[in-house]
Amino acid sequence: MQFAAPDRWPLLVAARGFLTYVFFYPIMTNNLQLVVTAADAAAIETHVAALEALLAKYVKPLTPKEREQELKIGDKTIAFVDKVIEHAVKDPKTVPPDLDLTEVQRDYTVLKLMRPLSRRLGAMAYDSESTAMIASGDVYAAALLIYAQNALNARNAVAGAQAAYNDQRERFPGRGKKTQE
């Protein structure tokens, strides 16, 4: 028999002596072998909450539309801005009269802090999302295997399997609610 893919195996479900279903489920691989201690989890939560509280007074959230309308700045533009501010500080008469150079310098200080900080936090968020994705894949693959085993056990009238299968079947993702006509 040929399988659909080398990373999947068939689950044959027999009922009343006949082969009725063939499911292909992922082979259980444990891609993530981490143990997060309760102390580490609590420390992470505490530090993230403290960082959120500290940053809350310095950040200004924008709506997607507001973000679209803001001027964008990259590394080359930062170098340009740096030079312009440097020259403006050396020779204040080059600054337009309606522009407050002190306020510009304050904004620039915020930029110099927030830009690298947001990159670091973004990298941490990306890595934690990746780790959560790996863990969810492992857990979901295991849940599918257990669900398939419960389906097989329910079809073969194993004691207690039907109740477990019915409970799991109600929550199986992708199953819409049946509407009564």
Q: Give the three-class secondary structure for 147.
A: helix
Q: Is 176 contained in some domain?
A: no
12 pLDDT above the threshold of 80: no
Domain count, the chain: 1
pLDDT tens for each residue of 14-36? 445 555 555 555 556 677 788 99
CA-wise closest residue to 146 among 119, 164, 134: 164
Question: Whole-model pTM?
Answer: 0.69
| Residue 25 DSSP label | E
Q: Which domain holds residue 99?
A: 8-168
Q: Is 146 contained in some domain?
A: yes
Tokens of 46: 């505490």
Q: Is 181 contained in some domain?
A: no
Tokens of 59: 């950040």
CB 168 within 8 A of CB 147: yes
